[in-house]
């Protein structure tokens, strides 16, 4: 009898950004860290859970540093490598920067996973870095019980164009660059109910580099940028609200969603991270009448290599949408607004 091929997702307890520690748990963990000493050149640190750290090198350059890694969200090794690398580089783009170099983070069960499969994971990551125009200049590897892959990503930007998640303003329009539903499609794949078209939708969005970040950062009227990943749209938008001291209202019917994810969401298929993310949001998210249960799931769905979330002035919104569309992000859409009030998110039908 022919032995069934090994599935990467069977070697790990979670996958993609759904592996992230829940926001409330992470906040509790970090609360015990000693207060950081002030550094004049540290432009962005841990204060508002931003996407990357930023260090001013001189008056013209700031270094952006971040790291991201996780366990497989798909079974194809090459695709896993591509998704993980795209996701890691996104944090540089979300600060308005351009990647310059990456280091690989590799943890593999070498007694379970063929070396050829591990090689394909690394090739997938390297292919995305090549697309971004940067080298994988080194890294570190360990023998681990579950497969883990990701990158340390370094980037550069002018200090004056760095975009923080805390700088949204009252009246800003919220624009999301990629469709939601990655975690839901990943769960459907694990259950064996995702067809080829659904898989293609998931791979297309998770391997699309957020290269428009630097172009958005220099556009007049763009005030804040972040990317939507493991905490779902709700969790990452709450970070924007808390950083800015503002509220946000989002229209559930305006959300860009991958078509293949909608029927699965309606059937209740999705990662466990959805429940964790909703619980972490608590009373800071208010759902209006008419918002359906499946829409709540999409809003809290853990995105892997998700889209950029932009807060910009109303008169800049069309230019932002045009920048997204020129960059190949056809699903980009206005989803809501920032406003004065408590740091909470209201969802309307």
197 labelled binding-site residue: no
Is 281 a residue of the active site?
no
51 labelled binding-site residue: yes
Tell me the two tokens of residue 193.
């109910």
Residue tagged active-site, from 17, 19, 241, 281? 17
CB 167 within 8 A of CB 239: no
Q: How many residues would you count in the chain?
A: 349
Q: What is the DSSP string of 196-223?
A: HHHHHHHHHHHT---TTHHHHHTSTTEE
Maximum Cα–Cα distance for the chain, whole Å?
66
> In the chain, which ranges are continuous DSSP H helix?
23-30, 77-94, 115-132, 182-190, 196-206, 213-217, 232-244, 261-266, 273-281, 293-300, 317-326
141 labelled binding-site residue: yes
Q: What is the DSSP string of 33-100?
A: SPPPPP-TTEEE-STT--SSEEEE-SSS-EEEEEEEEE--SSS-HHHHHHHHHHHHHHHHHHTT-EEE
49 labelled binding-site residue: yes
223 labelled binding-site residue: no
257: DSSP letter? B
Q: Inter-axis angle of helices 232-244 and 293-300, to 10 degrees?
A: 70
163 labelled binding-site residue: no
CB 304 within 8 A of CB 178: no
Alpha carbon 59 to chain centroid distance? 29
20 labelled binding-site residue: yes
Q: List residues forming the annotated binding site for ATP.
A: 20, 48-50, 68, 91, 139-141
Annotated binding site for Mg(2+): 51, 91, 227
| Residues noted as catalytic | 17
Binding site feature residues: 20, 48-51, 68, 91, 139-141, 227
């Amino acid at each position: 009898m022919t032995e069934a091929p090994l599935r990467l997702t069977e070697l790990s307890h979670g996958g993609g950004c759904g592996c992230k520690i829940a926001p409330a748990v992470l906040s509790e963990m970090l609360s015990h860290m000693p207060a950081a000493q002030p550094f004049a050149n540290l432009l962005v640190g841990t204060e508002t859970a931003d996407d990357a750290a930023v260090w001013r090198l001189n008056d013209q350059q700031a270094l952006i540093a971040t790291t991201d890694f996780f366990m497989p969200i798909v079974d194809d090794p090459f695709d896993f490598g591509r998704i993980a690398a795209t996701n890691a580089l996104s944090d540089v783009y979300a600060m308005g920067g351009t990647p310059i170099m990456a280091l690989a983070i590799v943890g593999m069960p070498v007694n379970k996973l063929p070396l050829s499969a591990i090689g394909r994971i690394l090739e997938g990551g390297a292919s995305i870095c090549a697309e971004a125009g940067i080298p994988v200049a080194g890294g570190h590897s360990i023998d681990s019980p579950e497969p883990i892959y990701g990158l340390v990503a370094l980037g550069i930007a002018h200090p004056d164009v760095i975009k923080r998640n805390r700088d949204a303003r009252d009246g800003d329009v919220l624009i999301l660059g990629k469709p939601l539903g990655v975690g839901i499609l990943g769960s459907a794949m694990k259950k064996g109910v995702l067809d080829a078209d659904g898989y293609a939708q998931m791979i297309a969005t998770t391997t699309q580099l957020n290269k428009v970040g630097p172009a958005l950062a220099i556009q007049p009227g763009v005030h804040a940028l972040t990317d939507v990943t493991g905490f779902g749209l709700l969790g990452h938008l709450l970070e924007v609200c808390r950083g800015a001291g503002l509220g946000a209202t989002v229209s559930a019917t305006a959300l860009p969603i991958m078509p293949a994810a909608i029927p699965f969401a309606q059937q209740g298929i999705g990662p466990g991270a959805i429940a964790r993310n909703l619980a972490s949001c608590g009373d800071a998210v208010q759902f209006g009448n008419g918002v359906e249960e499946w829409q709540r799931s999409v809003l809290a769905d853990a995105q892997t290599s998700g889209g950029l979330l932009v807060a910009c002035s109303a008169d800049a919104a069309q230019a932002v949408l045009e920048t997204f569309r020129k960059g190949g992000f056809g699903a980009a859409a206005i989803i809501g607004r920032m406003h004065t009030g408590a740091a909470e998110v209201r969802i309307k039908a």
